[in-house]
Structure 1
Amino acid sequence: MDVQTTVIDIIDNLFMEDISDMMDEDLFDAGVLDSMGTVELVIELEEKFNIKIPVSDMGRDDWNTGNKIVQGVKDLQNA
């Protein structure tokens, strides 16, 4: 499974929200993510992709869309 599909699945499983048709939409404004949800998402992403997401990388504007999350995971995998 590719990174995008996996991220979409993780978000769907955690928040019961299919974001596949809203990859550029702000997930906070859409009510999908909040601060607690972000923590849950980080934990899942770190476990699933075997990466470490630095707290400094978790600014709301940095990881607020599906596409930004996917790109962030890819960047950390290639770091």
Structure 2
Amino acid sequence: MKEKLVDILKDVTGLDNVGADPDEDLFKDGILDSMATVEVLVTLQDTFGITVPVSEFDRSQWSTVNKIAQRVQELE
């Protein structure tokens, strides 16, 4: 699942080095911005069949590859 997640992040950001450090803060390091975040969330919902209410989105819980993977598993 993490491999698919990293592929999604690479597609959305256009960066090949995303996921090299699964604990890298994607927001702090400028990899994800608000538009990219929406695209990632929509793609995650389509790919994994989860629902992520934007009103409940907390950036701190979605800031690294590891945290995103954990949230996706919790929502599956």
The TM-score normalised by the length of structure 1 is 0.87
How far apart, in 1, do the equivalents of 2:33 and 2:65 lie?
14
Task: Extract unaligned runs of 5+ from structure 1.
Answer: none
Task: Output the CA distance in 2 between the equivalents of 1:48 and 1:9.
Answer: 11
1:10 maps to which residue?
Answer: 8
Q: Deviations over 1:1-38 (max 9, x none)?
A: xx101100000011112322121011011111011111
How far the C-alpha of 1:59 sits from its partner, in A, is 1.1
Aligned length: 74
Partner of 1:68: 67
**Partner of 1:33 in structure 2?**
32
For 1:38, give the aligned amino acid. Answer: T
Give the root-mean-square deviation of aligned CA atoms: 1.0
1:23 alignment partner, SS class: coil
* CA distance in 2 between partners of 1:14 and 1:34 (Å): 11
Query: Scaled by the length of structure 2, what TM-score is found?
Result: 0.90
